[in-house]
Structure 1
Amino acid sequence: MVRLDAESDGEPGAEHFDVLTRHRRDRAVMAVVFLLLFGFSYSEDYVFAVLEAAGRDEVVAWLVGLVGFDVAVLSLVGLLKGAIGRAEGDSSRLRRWWWTAFSVVVCIDVLLVLLPDEHPLWIDLASSVVLAIVVGLLMMVALNGDPLTLFSAGRRAAAPMDWARVRAVVPLVLGTIAGYVAATAFDDFFDLDTVRVLDVEMEAEVAAMPLAEQLEAFATLCEGAVSPAFFEQVVAVIPLLLLTIGVEFNFFRRALDEPAQRAAAAATVAVMAIGLLLAVSTLPWAGSGCGGVLGYWHEYLTFVVAVQGIATGLATLLWLLVVSAPDQRIPSEANRV
């Protein structure tokens, strides 16, 4: 009788511990997705901004900054991966995948820093695609999802939880690829020296011209910048994508079943919302610069994040059509620790 009472008294404590462990695991999953999507994938931009502000551009500074930043972020993600694994009873799972992807990242960082200024465009494109794929692999592995389930029906059947996590990440990977390619296109195809914001004297001079000459002057000054029509279209397209994904495909209801799916859904909405906000931020400044942007960083971030947001939304739509059955949620054991 005493033993039964003890077991009864112990059950609430065990249940509370399970709930606490699950909540910690869920927070770690969310942190992994956001760190890799908004921290690691934009590491080169963060380092460039810091070095530009510090007036440093030498190779050593780039090596220390870029490699150091990526290693720091991935080390933190590695700790979160361990926490997720411990919560699920297997902290050492997929370690070989993790360290392989980690090594590839460091090698790519060193290669990009040591590349001469004049190098073929295909190197930039290839490194962008490879790096985005590695980001996806790191995300899958950090979430304790086997990347091979993406290519093997047998593995998907044997490990449905892994498949649920891996498939949740795929649209984010495709969106990241588009973002990297957009960043490469911005650097290689647009004129970085374009006068994006007119100074006071030039603005007054242009304002004194007849309307036709003003338009011609802006077209000449802003040649090589992103077209203003692009930002206007983004403001219309992203809300339409969000409505289509959320209402027509019940994406957000379906994405509540597993922690990685919830994190991917939150990241999808976040990147699309940030892209929309940046695009909207160009509208009040019409006439103040090329496409209503306030400077290089405003134009660059708006262009890249908007492309990433649209690509992520489109990839999510197509991926839902490919892997989801209508009105059928796949049960998950992820919430049982």
Structure 2
Amino acid sequence: MPESAAPPRADRAVFGVVFLMLFAFSYSEQLVSELFPSSGDDGHMAWRITVIAVDAVVLGVVGLMKRAVTRADGDVPRLWGWWWTGVVILIGVDALRLIHLESIRVDVLTATVYAAAMGATMAVSLNADPLTLFSSARRVALPVDWARVRAIVPLVVGAWLCYLAASAYVDFFDVDTARALDPAIEAQVSDLTVSEQMSVLSQLCQGAISPVFFQQVVGVIPVLLLALGVEFNYFRRTLTDAAQRAVTAATVTVLAAGLVGALSTLPWDGQGCGDVLSGWHEYFAFLLAVQAVFTGLATLVWLLVASTPDDAAGTGPVNRDAAAGG
């Protein structure tokens, strides 16, 4: 059965793989940290174990969806070696983070390994051989695999830079900046004249991220959407295969979420007590904005550098036996 005529259940499995890996898995650490804030070594350990448990559940569900995608392709079970390798690496990195390692190099290394393993796991869960990214012979032998792997590359790049942004937010920005007055200082300020109060309050509280950043993002993301939709015919060319449709929907969702996150910060100017974003609001808006901008840029660059006409590499017959999977 052609991919474009795949049954609805298979389409749901494909969409589930992409959205679970990109959002539920990638943001599990941030969501758990906000839902279950912790302090001290014991709290840190319990919080990290919760992240590992959540990630394991998400990967288990993705594994079930991989079976559904394989059956819809009419294929024999394949690439499970790749899948388990990706899962072991992802859970291993989660476990490594149980140890406090304060180093920028370690953060960059773990983010890079994590993103690569996440991308490989997503690819094989879509029943696609990730080695097609590096082998022209495999791309010729496995055109459907190549179309699916090619489609997810910009999402993986955007996720990787989002991981780096999460580390940078903690390492380089003043996340402990005062966002509200404590009672003692508030009492002292209340004794000042109105003009003095305004001057003091404008200096005491501020956010960790400059409001100018979010203002610029609000202007950049719509331009990226227009460039993708009009100049490159991105949305028309990526609707033939279920995986391509899922990635297209995920790309638009990432860009829209980043735009909404940036827009949600505009009512606050980031200066002065009572006019500063809360920590969680600023953090998630920053991550969504970074992921959206770099996913859009990566998609544009990837279309220019590595795009192949769909009739040559995305809709041809599947030749699974030409290159054996793991």
Normalised by the length of structure 2, the TM-score is: 0.86
How many Å apart are 1:289 and its aligned residue? 5.7
Alignment partner, residue 3 of structure 1: none
Query: Which AA in structure 2 matches 1:122?
Result: R
Give the letter aligned to residue 244 of structure 1.
A
Q: In structure 2, what is the equivalent of residue 251 of structure 1?
A: 234
Gap regions ≥5 residues in structure 1: 1-14
1:103 to 2:93 alignment = no
Deviation of 1:331 after TM superposition, in Å, equals 5.0
State the superposition RMSD in angstroms: 3.1
Residue 175 of structure 2 is aligned to residue 209 of structure 1: no
Q: Please, which of 108, 121, 136 is the counterpart of residue 119 of structure 2?
A: 136
C-alpha displacement of 1:136: 0.6
Q: 2-side partners of 1:85 and 1:149: how far apart?
A: 18
Which structure 2 residues correspond to residues 86-97 of structure 1 after superposition, within 5 A?
Answer: 86-90=71-75, 92-97=77-82
Range with greater deviation from structure 2 (268-277 or 290-299) = 290-299
Q: In the alignment, what sits opposite 1:218? A: 202
1:221 offset after TM fit, Å?
A: 3.3
Provide the rounded CA distance (Å) in 1 between the counterparts of 2:273 and 2:114.
31
Which of 100, 109, 114 matches 1:115? 100
SS of the residue corresponding to residue 222 of structure 2 reads helix
Distance 1:290 1:45 in 2: 26
- Per-residue deviation, 1:69: 0.6
Q: Corresponding residue for 1:266?
A: 249
- C-alpha change, 1:207 and 1:85, in structure 2 (3 Å) is farther
Deviation string for 1:89-128 (max 9, x for gaps)? 2352100000001111111111101235xx2221112111
Amino acid in structure 2 at the alignment position of 1:218: S
Which residue, 25, 32, 56 being the options, matches 1:47? 32
In 2, the alpha carbon distance for the partners of 1:160 and 1:100 equals 24
Residue 179 of structure 1 and its aligned partner are, at CA, apart by 0.3
- Contact 1:62 1:113 (C-alpha < 8 Å) held by counterparts: no
Q: Aligned letter for 1:139?
A: M
SS in 2 for 1:286: coil
Asked which structure has the greater CA Rg, the reply is 1
> What SS does structure 2 have at the residue aligned with 1:256?
coil
Task: State the structure with bigger RCO (CA 8 A, min sep 6), 1 or 2.
Answer: 2
The alpha-carbon distance between structure 1 residues 327 and 176, as it changes in their structure 2 partners (threshold 3 A), is closer
SS state at 1:72 partner? helix
In the TM superposition, residue 55 of structure 1 has moved relative to its aligned partner by: 9.8
Residues 150, 166 of structure 1: 8 Å contact kept: yes
8 Å contact 1:231–1:282 — kept in the other structure?
Answer: yes
Is the 1:140–1:165 Cα contact (8 Å) retained in structure 2? yes
CA distance in 2, matches of 1:279, 1:290: 20
> Could you tell which deviates more after superposition, 306-315 or 37-46?
37-46
Partner deviation per Cα, 1:259-290 (whole Å, 9 max, x = no partner)? 11111111111011111001101112336768
> How far off its partner does 1:329 sit?
7.3
The structure richer in helix per residue is: 1
| Maintained 8 Å contact 1:254/1:329 | no
1:70 is aligned, of 55, 65, 86, to 55
**Aligned residue in 2 for 1:157:** 140
1:34 positional shift: 0.4
How far apart are residue 60 of structure 1 and its match? 4.0
Structure 1: distance between partners of 2:272 and 2:196: 18
In structure 2, the CA distance between the partners of 1:325 and 1:78, relative to structure 1 (3 Å rule), is closer
1:277 to 255, 260, 265: 260
1:334 deviation in Å?
8.1
Identity of aligned residues (%): 49
> Which among 151, 176, 181 is matched to residue 164 of structure 2?
181
Report Cα offsets for 1:288-311 as digits up to 9, x if no partner.
768965300111001111000000
Gaps of 5+ in 2: 319-326
Deviations 1:56-78 (A, max 9, x none): 95354134301111100000000
Superposition TM-score, scaled by structure 1 size: 0.84
Partners of 2:180 and 2:205 within 8 A in 1: no
Q: 1:227 corresponds to which residue?
A: 210
Cα deviation, 1:219-267, whole Å, max 9, x if unaligned, reads: 5632x71111000000000001001111110000011111111111111
Change over 3 Å in CA distance of 1:303–1:198 after alignment to 2:
farther
CA separation of 1:27/1:208 partners in 2, compared to 1, >3 Å: closer, same or farther?
A: same
Structure 2 residue identity aligned to 1:25: A
Query: What secondary structure does 1:193 align onto?
Result: coil
- Matched-pair contact (CA < 8 Å) for 1:174–1:315: yes
Q: Relative to structure 2, which stretch is displaced further, 156-165 or 284-293?
A: 284-293
CA contact under 8 A between 2:173 and 2:209: conserved in structure 1? yes
- Matching residue's letter, 2:56: V
Q: Equivalents in 1 of 2:264, 2:142: separation in Å?
A: 44
* Alignment check: 8 A CA contact 1:34 1:267 kept: yes
Q: CA deviation at 1:209?
A: 2.9
